[in-house]
């Protein structure tokens, strides 16, 4: 992650992008200390240890609990956020970002909390296995296992399985797109919410060479793709990026949110166009002044909170398409 904030927020780089209010404070909070470079283990520990720096206040009446989806040979941690309110709630199955390697339900707790607050939906955040210890196919198998668990446990979770969406940001958006594809045979998902996602895995994309995003530099993107490809090779079969999948028909209505300065913004626009070409209803927005990962900045940034509210409004708009 680059460490230079926008000059308007106290930085000195004349070529740094103009960032929305509060993002420089967010970037300072997520800046990794030198010891994080010691190992991936250290980086993960520090990200979880320092998650409190991003903590977003939980609204009164929200109940948060941890549980596990247990299957043969594995236990998948989940964190459940239930806003105040009775009856069977709308639900969102959420997959965090982190380049497939570092993120967790702890380090993305702020985003999941804000998502539940803004949408009024129960949010189930999934701690899927990470690369390089796992593989893409194994991760997707876990995601599918959690989806099936949520449907089985709908009564105990107090949710309406007919109004169940999937969501993800960054690498989590990649996983959410694939889970939506795996679920096309039914029961139908009500929506997919995709935020500044990884929709291509081509390190030669021109946008990466021009990257000025302080949260996602070109070397980081290249490392993510290289790690993904090396782990994919262990599967013995490719798991194509969403933009490389020829048939996108039958996917649920989609909310797609990008960030102006994100080097992955263009592939997000391309994926939105591909979905529309396949007949999928899409509500799309590119948030001005935003960098990759900005929804974790809700504690610091009024504009980031505004974008979360837009996301919630667009989500409910798409839900209405389902009746």
- List residues with catalytic annotation: 170, 262, 292
CA gap 160, 154 in Å, rounded: 7
Phi, psi of 266 (to 5 degrees): -65, -40
Phi, psi of 300 (to 5 degrees): -100, -25
User: Which residues sit opposite 285 in a β-bridge?
Assistant: 257
Per the CB < 8 A criterion, the answer to whether 172 and 231 are in contact is no
Q: For residue 128, what are the contacts with CB-CB under 8 A and spacing of at least 6? A: 76, 95, 134, 139, 142, 143, 146, 175
Give the pairing type, strands 63-71 and 74-82. antiparallel
Phi, psi of 322 (to 5 degrees): -85, -5
């Amino acid at each position: 992650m680059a460490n230079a904030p926008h000059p308007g927020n106290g930085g000195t780089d004349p070529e740094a992008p103009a960032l929305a209010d509060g993002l420089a404070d967010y970037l300072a909070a997520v800046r990794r200390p030198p010891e994080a470079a010691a190992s991936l283990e250290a980086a993960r520990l520090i990200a979880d240890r320092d998650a409190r720096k991003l903590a977003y206040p939980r609204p009164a009446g929200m109940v948060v609990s941890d549980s596990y989806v247990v299957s043969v040979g594995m236990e998948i941690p989940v964190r459940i956020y239930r806003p105040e309110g009775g009856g069977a709630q709308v639900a969102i199955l959420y997959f965090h970002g982190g380049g497939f390697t570092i993120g967790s339900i702890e380090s993305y707790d702020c985003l999941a909390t804000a998502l539940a607050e803004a949408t009024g939906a129960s949010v189930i955040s999934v701690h899927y296995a990470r690369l390089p210890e796992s593989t893409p196919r194994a991760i997707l198998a876990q995601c599918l296992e959690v989806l099936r668990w949520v449907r089985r446990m709908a009564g105990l979770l107090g949710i309406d399985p007919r109004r169940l969406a999937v969501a993800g940001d960054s690498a989590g958006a990649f996983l959410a797109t694939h889970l939506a594809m795996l679920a096309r045979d039914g029961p139908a998902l009500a929506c997919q919410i995709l935020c500044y996602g990884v929709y291509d895995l081509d390190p030669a994309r021109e946008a990466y060479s021009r990257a000025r995003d302080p949260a996602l530099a070109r070397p980081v993107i290249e490392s993510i793709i290289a790690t993904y490809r090396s782990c994919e090779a262990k599967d013995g079969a490719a798991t194509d990026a969403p933009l490389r999948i020829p048939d996108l028909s039958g996917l649920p209505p989609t909310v797609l949110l990008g960030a102006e300065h994100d080097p992955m913004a263009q592939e997000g626009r391309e994926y939105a166009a591909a979905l529309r070409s396949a007949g999928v209803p899409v509500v799309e927005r590119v948030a001005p002044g935003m960098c990759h990962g900005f929804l974790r900045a809700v504690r610091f940034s009024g504009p980031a909170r505004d974008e979360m509210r837009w996301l919630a409004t667009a989500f409910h708009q798409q839900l209405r398409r389902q009746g």
